[in-house]
Amino acid sequence: MTEPLKRPKRKDPLKRTQQPLYPQSVRSRTAHGLTKAAAEGRFELQTCDDCSTVFYPPRDACPNCLSDRVPFRPVDDNGKLIADTTIRTSTDPYFRERTPWRVGLTKLDAGPVILSHLHGDVLEGQRVRLALKLDKGGAPVMIALPEKDTPNMADDPHLREMTCDPKFRRVLITDGRTPVGQAMAKAFSDAGANIVFVGIADPWKPFPGQDELKKIERVEIVALDVTDSESVTEQAEQNGGRIDIVINTAEHIRAGGIMQRHGVTVAREEMDVRYFGLMRLAQAFGPAMRGRGADGVNSATAFVNLLSVHALMNWPQYGAYSAAEAASLSAAQCLRAELRSGGVRVMNVFFGPLDTEWFQTVPPPKVTPAALAKAVVQALQHGLEDVFVGDIAEDIRARLAANPKALERELAG
Amino acid sequence: MVSNPASDLLGFARRVASGSIKVVDLTQTLTQEFPTIVLPPEFGQAAPFRLEEISRYDERGPAWYWNNFTVSEHAGTHFDAPIHWISGKDLPNNAVDTIDPRKFIAPANVVDCSAESAANADFELTVPFLEAWEKEHGRIGAGEWVLLRTDWSKKPYSEYAGMRDDGAHTPGPVPEAVKWLVEERDVHGFGTETIGTDHGQGHHFNPPFPAHFYMHGKGRFGLQCLTNLDQLPPKGAVIFSAPLKIKQGSGSPLRVLALVEAA
Ligand SMILES: [Zn+2]
């Protein structure tokens, strides 16, 4: 049974902070099929379209019939752990620091035998579930999990290396003035975060939900305005060295396209919040987080961007908004590359229209702030990188994969 | 003795240098945190003051420090030109770049409503109040500023902005008082310590925002977010308030200085 995680003690200020490392990995382009599945939290293996053979590791042709029609498809993740061994030495600096480290062979019911990391609660001969995760370096890896959830399962040190669980971590929610920011504060408090810093801009301006926000356990209101470089820098100077998860909830949502907007004042605000805001946060908080990627139980672990799914394809009804979201997404992809060397994950969470005042006239389905917050917490607990929340986001993702041009035309109405 | 105008000017400069004429700075520092006017979010918003470093003796410029700043014409201590309001849109020389520069220097009447405003954030400046003030301090002259001292500039930002769910609660003039100042006293303009020249609930007046409507409609000026009005005498201060020369600008942040005879 997993030893429950203890609330980390205060750091010994005389001890050097452990520098982040990540496992060596060389992956082929084909193998990035696994990266995609792991990033989105699905268990997928190559499955031959001609003979139905499921195989692993990834390759360009079916080992059974040599067909090159071998796409990644969801497969049954159940199997049996047939062998179990413990690595005691390693030439890989990442594993050297973490030995002994158990690995094992699982025979999947779907066919292949797969070498994977092992959760502490699995034993040789038992039924297990294989999960695809991203390791600290963002590479896809397998871990064998107990067939049924066990107590404190998420606290397993090997699994926690592959997830961004908010438990005992210190979270910064960048904007608490919005329903989404407030839902996040509640969700992260409930998920066991040690402190939930909630940024408030223009504190002289009252906002709905203010009193309830202050009452949430372990919430600490801080001054933060993502449109003000000085404010972001000052907040990073105060708390940047102990923030493990950033949730960028700063939003700017206005209907309208490009041509009918009458000037660029609102568009500048959109870009200031969504693109420059992200850049300011990245510059102020990123370097310290990257340096703390291996800083014990409450290491820096994730930078979360909340993005309209229309960052992926413009929705002309909210066209200028979509464009700013696309800029934010592109910056987030850059930040992902920049934080990877510290083992800090950039998680992009895509959603359709929210059930908030700025989408008042948009018909359902809409994503409630509470549902979005719950999805973000779960995605961090699972260690995902790309998350699609709600029917619209899922639908756009599927249509984008099938035919982007058709999607563009259809969104144009 | 017949005075020579040139030596008067030099004498003035000497008196400023010696301190026998005191210079009182009526300007709030331009900072990111200072409250700006808030309109309902579906309207265009006045950009608050923002500062971005270009370089600070670093790789971006090794021996020099400088910034870019962005700000709306109506943030911080700022000047309102007649073109700011629809009632003044067709007047000649109504923008900051075309106003006769002589108008940037004018005497001030400082009407102290600080006690009344402390007692009531919704304090309304009325004609009887102004008449009573004149009885004590003398008639408000044509071409002179009327500055409303409320000590609002001393409040913490949340009280300063006075935002509640029914709008702002800050002192200001009722329509009749502004009309009276313009039509009966021919004033130069109206200045306040609050975010705007109008009462916090001024949008409910008829006409809405009377200080803007009447003052700018008759080509008069506005000053807002002033500070240190408590250091000015009721009469006798001279205000220097030259806005930036923005092409067809509706207003501008500016340095407002008051010249006062040292006691
Ligand atoms: Zn095959």
Q: Which of A224, A216, A231 is nearest to A247 (CA)?
A: A224
The count of other CB atoms within 10 Å of the CB of residue B226 is 26
Asked if the Cβ–Cβ distance from B163 to A225 is below 8 Å, we say: no
Query: Cβ contact (<8 Å) for A229 and B50?
Result: yes
A226 with A90, same domain: the answer is no
Q: For residue A61, what are the domain limits?
A: 32-157
pLDDT of B4: 65
A168, pLDDT greater than 60: yes
Q: Would you state the pLDDT for residue A202?
A: 95
pLDDT of residue B5: 63
- Judged by average pLDDT, the poorest of A11-20, A137-146, A360-369, B88-97 is A11-20
A231 touches chain B (CB under 8 A): yes
- Residue A101 is predicted with a pLDDT of 87
Query: What pLDDT sits at residue A63?
Result: 96
- The whole-number pLDDT of residue B42 equals 84
Of B32, B50, B158, the CB nearest to A203: B158
Asked whether residue A108 is assigned to any structural domain, the reply reads yes
User: How confident is residue B28, by pLDDT bands cut at 50, 70 and 90?
Assistant: very high
Q: What is the pLDDT of residue B92?
A: 97
Chain-chain contact of A205 with B163 (C-beta, under 8 angstroms): yes
In chain B, what residues touch A229 (CB-CB under 8 Å)?
Answer: 50-53
Q: How confident is the model at residue A90 (pLDDT cuts 50, 70, 90)?
A: confident
Question: What confidence tens digit (pLDDT) does each residue in A195-225 have?
Answer: 999 999 999 999 999 999 999 999 999 999 9
- Is 70 exceeded by the pLDDT of residue B205? yes
Q: Quick one: what percent of chain A has pLDDT higher than 70?
A: 99
Mark the residues whose beta carbon lies below 5 A from ion ligand 1.
Answer: A 48, 50-51, 53, 62, 64-65, 67
Question: What are the tens digits of pLDDT across the range A102-161?
Answer: 999 999 999 999 999 999 999 999 999 999 999 998 999 999 999 999 999 999 999 999
Average pLDDT of the residues of chain A = 94
The ipTM (two decimal places) reads 0.90
Class (C level, CATH) for B18-44+73-261: alpha beta
The answer on A189 and A152 residing in a single domain is: no
Determine whether the interchain pair B164/A206 forms a contact, defined as Cβ–Cβ distance below 8 Å: yes
- Is the same domain home to A89 and A145? yes
Please give the Cα distance from A232 to A281 (Å, whole number).
7
What are the tens digits of pLDDT across the range B1-15?
A: 455 666 799 999 999
Q: A263 to chain B: which residues are within 8 Å by CB?
A: 44
Report strand pairing: B124-125 vs B172-173. parallel
- The verdict on residue A136 lying in a domain is yes
| Rounded mean pLDDT, B80-88 | 98
- Judgement on whether residues A246 and A373 belong to the same structural domain of the protein: yes
Distance A54 CA to ligand 1 centre (A): 8
pLDDT at position B251: 98
Q: According to the model, what pLDDT value does residue B263 have?
A: 76
Confidence class of residue A96 from pLDDT cuts 50, 70 and 90? confident
Residue A184: predicted pLDDT: 98
Residues 187-226 of B with CB under 8 A from A: none
Local confidence band at B49 (pLDDT 50, 70, 90 cut-offs): very high
Distance (angstroms) between ligand 1 centre and the Cα of A47 equals 8
Q: Do the Cβ atoms of A206 and B165 come within 8 Å? A: yes
Spell out the domain ranges in chain B: 18-44+73-261
Please write down the long-range contacts of A149-157, taking CB distance under 8 Å and 24 or more positions apart: A150/A1, A150/A2, A150/A121, A151/A1, A151/A2, A151/A4, A152/A1, A152/A2, A152/A3, A152/A4, A152/A5, A153/A2, A153/A119, A153/A121, A154/A381, A155/A2, A155/A3, A155/A4, A155/A5, A156/A2, A156/A119, A156/A120, A156/A121, A157/A120
Chain B residues 11-30 with CB within 8 Å of chain A = none
Q: Is A38 exposed, middle or buried (0-12, 13-18, 19+ CB in 10 A)?
A: buried
CA B203 to centroid of ligand 1, rounded, Å: 75
Contact flag A230-B164 (C-beta cutoff 8 Å): no
Residues A147 and A227 in one domain: no
> H or E segment at A116?
strand A113-118
DSSP line for chain B = -PPPHHHHHHHHHHHHHHTSEEEEE-BPP--TTS------TTS--PPPPEEEEEEEEETTEEEEEEEEEE--TTSSSEEE-GGGSGGGTTSTT-STTTS-GGGGEEEEEEEE-HHHHHH-TT-EE-HHHHHHHHHHH-PPPTT-EEEEE--GGGS-HHHHHTEETTEE---EE-HHHHHHHHHTT--SEEEESSSSSS-TTGGGSSSSSHHHHHHHHTT-EEEESB--GGGS-SEEEEEEE-----TT-SEEE--EEEEEE--
Claim to verify: residue A132 and residue A208 sit in the same structural domain? no
B102: CB partners within 8 A, 6+ apart: none
Say what the pLDDT of residue A58 is: 93
- For residue A87, the model assigns a pLDDT of 86
Do A223 and A270 fall within a single domain?
Answer: yes
How close B121 comes to chain A (CA, Å)? 16
Q: Do the domain assignments include residue A299?
A: yes
Of A204, A227, A229, the CB nearest to B160: A204
> Is A2 a member of any domain?
no
Residue tagged 């998420």 (tokens): A154
What does pTM read for this prediction? 0.93
What is the CA(A50)–ligand 1 centre distance, in A?
5
Q: How far is the CA of A233 from the centre of ligand 1 (A)?
A: 56
Residue A5 lies in a domain: no
Domain tally, chain A = 2
A374 contact partners, CB below 8 Å, separation of at least 6: A187
Residue A408 domain flag? yes
Using pLDDT thresholds of 50, 70 and 90, give the confidence band for residue A26. Answer: low
Q: Which residues of B are catalytic?
A: 84
Looking at residue A31, its pLDDT comes to 86
More confident residue, A9 or B94: B94
